[in-house]
Protein backbone atom coordinates (compact mmCIF):
# COMPACT_ATOMS: atom_id res chain seq x y z
CA UNK A 1 0.00 0.00 0.00
CA UNK A 2 1.28 3.49 -0.75
CA UNK A 3 1.82 6.31 1.69
CA UNK A 4 -0.53 9.29 1.94
CA UNK A 5 0.56 11.86 -0.61
CA UNK A 6 -0.27 14.91 1.44
CA UNK A 7 2.62 14.05 3.75
CA UNK A 8 4.99 15.26 1.09
CA UNK A 9 4.65 19.01 1.54
CA UNK A 10 7.90 20.82 2.08
CA UNK A 11 8.71 24.10 3.65
CA UNK A 12 9.95 26.72 1.21
CA UNK A 13 13.09 27.43 3.27
CA UNK A 14 14.10 23.81 2.89
CA UNK A 15 14.61 24.23 -0.81
CA UNK A 16 18.39 24.72 -0.79
CA UNK A 17 20.69 22.84 -3.10
CA UNK A 18 21.44 19.93 -0.79
CA UNK A 19 17.78 19.23 -0.20
CA UNK A 20 17.13 19.38 -3.93
CA UNK A 21 19.84 16.78 -4.51
CA UNK A 22 18.46 14.56 -1.78
CA UNK A 23 15.00 14.97 -3.22
CA UNK A 24 16.22 14.04 -6.73
CA UNK A 25 18.00 10.97 -5.34
CA UNK A 26 14.91 9.93 -3.39
CA UNK A 27 12.75 10.26 -6.50
CA UNK A 28 15.22 8.25 -8.59
CA UNK A 29 15.31 5.47 -5.98
CA UNK A 30 11.54 5.47 -5.86
CA UNK A 31 11.28 5.16 -9.66
CA UNK A 32 13.77 2.26 -9.72
CA UNK A 33 11.81 0.49 -6.97
CA UNK A 34 8.46 1.09 -8.66
CA UNK A 35 9.82 -0.33 -11.94
CA UNK A 36 10.20 -3.64 -10.06
CA UNK A 37 6.60 -3.60 -8.81
CA UNK A 38 3.99 -5.21 -11.10
CA UNK A 39 1.51 -2.62 -12.34
CA UNK A 40 -2.23 -2.70 -12.92
CA UNK A 41 -3.07 -4.78 -15.99
CA UNK A 42 -0.45 -7.40 -15.15
CA UNK A 43 -2.38 -10.70 -14.85
CA UNK A 44 -0.24 -11.88 -11.92
CA UNK A 45 -1.96 -9.26 -9.71
CA UNK A 46 -5.22 -11.20 -10.22
CA UNK A 47 -3.84 -14.58 -9.16
CA UNK A 48 -4.09 -16.27 -5.78
CA UNK A 49 -0.75 -16.81 -4.06
CA UNK A 50 0.13 -20.23 -2.63
CA UNK A 51 0.84 -21.19 0.99
CA UNK A 52 4.53 -21.13 1.90
CA UNK A 53 5.86 -24.52 2.95
CA UNK A 54 9.63 -24.04 2.89
CA UNK A 55 11.20 -21.58 5.33
CA UNK A 56 14.52 -21.46 3.58
CA UNK A 57 17.20 -19.02 2.49
CA UNK A 58 15.19 -18.14 -0.60
CA UNK A 59 12.23 -16.98 1.52
CA UNK A 60 14.59 -14.91 3.68
CA UNK A 61 16.06 -13.25 0.55
CA UNK A 62 12.60 -12.58 -0.89
CA UNK A 63 11.38 -10.88 2.28
CA UNK A 64 14.57 -8.78 2.59
CA UNK A 65 14.17 -7.66 -1.01
CA UNK A 66 10.52 -6.79 -0.43
CA UNK A 67 11.37 -4.69 2.64
CA UNK A 68 14.01 -2.77 0.67
CA UNK A 69 11.58 -2.21 -2.20
CA UNK A 70 8.82 -1.06 0.16
CA UNK A 71 11.17 1.53 1.68
CA UNK A 72 12.56 2.78 -1.64
CA UNK A 73 9.06 2.96 -3.14
CA UNK A 74 7.92 4.85 -0.01
CA UNK A 75 5.13 2.38 0.61
CA UNK A 76 3.75 1.09 3.91
CA UNK A 77 3.17 -2.47 2.71
CA UNK A 78 4.06 -4.81 -0.16
CA UNK A 79 2.78 -8.27 -1.09
CA UNK A 80 4.88 -10.93 -2.88
CA UNK A 81 2.30 -10.99 -5.68
CA UNK A 82 3.34 -7.42 -6.50
CA UNK A 83 6.85 -8.58 -7.32
CA UNK A 84 5.52 -11.49 -9.38
CA UNK A 85 6.02 -14.18 -6.72
CA UNK A 86 2.87 -16.18 -5.98
CA UNK A 87 3.63 -17.00 -2.35
CA UNK A 88 1.62 -15.93 0.67
CA UNK A 89 4.10 -13.39 2.03
CA UNK A 90 3.76 -9.70 2.69
CA UNK A 91 5.78 -7.04 4.47
CA UNK A 92 4.52 -3.94 6.20
CA UNK A 93 5.71 -1.12 8.37
CA UNK A 94 4.18 -1.14 11.84
CA UNK A 95 5.08 1.28 14.65
CA UNK A 96 8.60 1.91 13.37
CA UNK A 97 9.25 -1.76 12.70
CA UNK A 98 9.37 -3.79 9.49
CA UNK A 99 7.25 -6.90 9.72
CA UNK A 100 7.31 -10.01 7.55
CA UNK A 101 4.13 -12.06 7.62
CA UNK A 102 3.96 -15.48 5.98
CA UNK A 103 0.71 -17.42 5.41
CA UNK A 104 -1.34 -14.58 6.94
CA UNK A 105 -4.92 -15.08 8.12
CA UNK A 106 -7.29 -12.39 9.35
CA UNK A 107 -8.43 -14.39 12.37
CA UNK A 108 -10.98 -11.81 13.47
CA UNK A 109 -12.16 -8.30 12.68
CA UNK A 110 -13.98 -5.83 14.90
CA UNK A 111 -14.54 -2.20 15.89
CA UNK A 112 -16.91 -1.63 12.99
CA UNK A 113 -15.71 -0.31 9.65
CA UNK A 114 -14.20 2.93 8.40
CA UNK A 115 -13.89 4.44 4.91
CA UNK A 116 -10.56 6.10 4.03
CA UNK A 117 -8.50 6.82 0.92
CA UNK A 118 -6.08 4.10 -0.14
CA UNK A 119 -3.37 4.01 -2.75
CA UNK A 120 -1.42 1.03 -4.05
CA UNK A 121 2.14 0.71 -5.36
CA UNK A 122 0.64 -1.25 -8.30
CA UNK A 123 -1.82 1.51 -9.22
CA UNK A 124 0.45 4.53 -9.67
CA UNK A 125 -0.92 7.77 -8.20
CA UNK A 126 -4.57 6.67 -8.22
CA UNK A 127 -6.29 6.77 -4.83
CA UNK A 128 -9.80 5.78 -3.84
CA UNK A 129 -12.00 5.36 -0.75
CA UNK A 130 -12.08 1.84 0.68
CA UNK A 131 -14.13 0.50 3.58
CA UNK A 132 -12.15 -1.64 6.02
CA UNK A 133 -12.57 -3.16 9.47
CA UNK A 134 -11.11 -0.85 12.15
CA UNK A 135 -9.55 -3.68 14.20
CA UNK A 136 -8.09 -6.97 13.06
CA UNK A 137 -6.28 -9.91 14.60
CA UNK A 138 -3.67 -11.12 12.16
CA UNK A 139 -2.22 -14.60 12.51
CA UNK A 140 0.52 -16.24 10.52
CA UNK A 141 4.18 -17.10 10.88
CA UNK A 142 7.40 -15.15 10.47
CA UNK A 143 10.17 -15.81 7.92
CA UNK A 144 11.51 -18.63 10.15
CA UNK A 145 8.12 -20.30 10.54
CA UNK A 146 7.57 -19.10 14.13
CA UNK A 147 3.92 -18.33 14.96
CA UNK A 148 2.91 -14.69 14.94
CA UNK A 149 -0.22 -12.98 16.22
CA UNK A 150 -0.80 -9.22 15.94
CA UNK A 151 -3.70 -7.15 17.23
CA UNK A 152 -3.88 -4.12 14.96
CA UNK A 153 -6.09 -1.10 14.54
CA UNK A 154 -6.42 1.98 12.36
CA UNK A 155 -3.83 2.38 9.57
CA UNK A 156 -1.96 -0.86 10.40
CA UNK A 157 -5.24 -2.82 10.34
CA UNK A 158 -6.04 -1.19 6.99
CA UNK A 159 -2.61 -2.01 5.54
CA UNK A 160 -2.76 -5.72 6.42
CA UNK A 161 -6.29 -6.07 4.99
CA UNK A 162 -4.99 -4.46 1.77
CA UNK A 163 -1.99 -6.84 1.62
CA UNK A 164 -4.01 -10.00 2.35
CA UNK A 165 -6.31 -8.93 -0.51
CA UNK A 166 -3.27 -8.86 -2.84
CA UNK A 167 -2.48 -12.48 -1.94
CA UNK A 168 -6.03 -13.38 -3.02
CA UNK A 169 -5.72 -11.46 -6.31
CA UNK A 170 -7.94 -8.64 -5.08
CA UNK A 171 -7.27 -4.92 -5.62
CA UNK A 172 -8.71 -1.71 -4.17
CA UNK A 173 -10.64 -1.09 -7.42
CA UNK A 174 -12.72 -4.13 -6.41
CA UNK A 175 -13.38 -2.67 -2.95
CA UNK A 176 -14.28 0.93 -3.71
CA UNK A 177 -17.69 2.40 -4.58
CA UNK A 178 -18.86 2.26 -8.24
CA UNK A 179 -18.25 5.95 -8.94
CA UNK A 180 -14.71 5.97 -7.52
CA UNK A 181 -14.07 2.79 -9.48
CA UNK A 182 -15.15 4.48 -12.72
CA UNK A 183 -12.89 7.46 -11.98
CA UNK A 184 -9.96 5.16 -11.18
CA UNK A 185 -10.46 3.15 -14.37
CA UNK A 186 -10.49 6.33 -16.45
CA UNK A 187 -7.11 7.24 -14.95
CA UNK A 188 -5.70 3.73 -15.31
CA UNK A 189 -6.78 3.03 -18.88
CA UNK A 190 -4.45 5.53 -20.65
CA UNK A 191 -1.53 4.13 -18.62
CA UNK A 192 -2.33 0.67 -19.93
CA UNK A 193 -2.22 1.82 -23.54
CA UNK A 194 1.08 3.63 -22.97
CA UNK A 195 2.70 0.59 -21.40
CA UNK A 196 2.03 -1.65 -24.42
Using the minimum distance from each CB to Zn ion, give the nearer residue, 120 or 143: 120
Choice among 117, 163, 179, 183 that is catalytic: 163
Using the minimum distance from each CB to Zn ion, give the nearer residue, 23 or 183: 183
Minimum distance of Zn ion from residue 1's CB (angstroms) = 5
Q: Which residue is nearest to Zn ion (CB)?
A: 120
Binding site for Zn ion (CB under 5 A): 120
Beta-ladder partners of 155: none
Using the minimum distance from each CB to Zn ion, give the nearer residue, 45 or 150: 45
Minimum distance of Zn ion from residue 132's CB (angstroms) = 13
Of the candidates 137, 156, 157, which has an alpha carbon nearest to the alpha carbon of residue 148?
A: 137
Beta-ladder partners of 183: none
Cα–Cα distances in Å, from 31 out to 66, 75, 142, 159?
Answer: 15, 12, 29, 22
Please confirm, yes or no, whether 163 is among the known catalytic residues: yes
* 101, 140 contact by CB (below 8 A): yes
- Positions annotated as catalytic residues are 163
Amino acid sequence: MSRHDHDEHHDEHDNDEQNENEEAERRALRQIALSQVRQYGDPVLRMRANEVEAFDEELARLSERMIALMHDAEGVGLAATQVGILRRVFVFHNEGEDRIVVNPVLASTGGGTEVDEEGCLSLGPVRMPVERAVEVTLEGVDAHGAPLRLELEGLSARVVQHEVDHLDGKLIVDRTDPESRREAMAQLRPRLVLSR
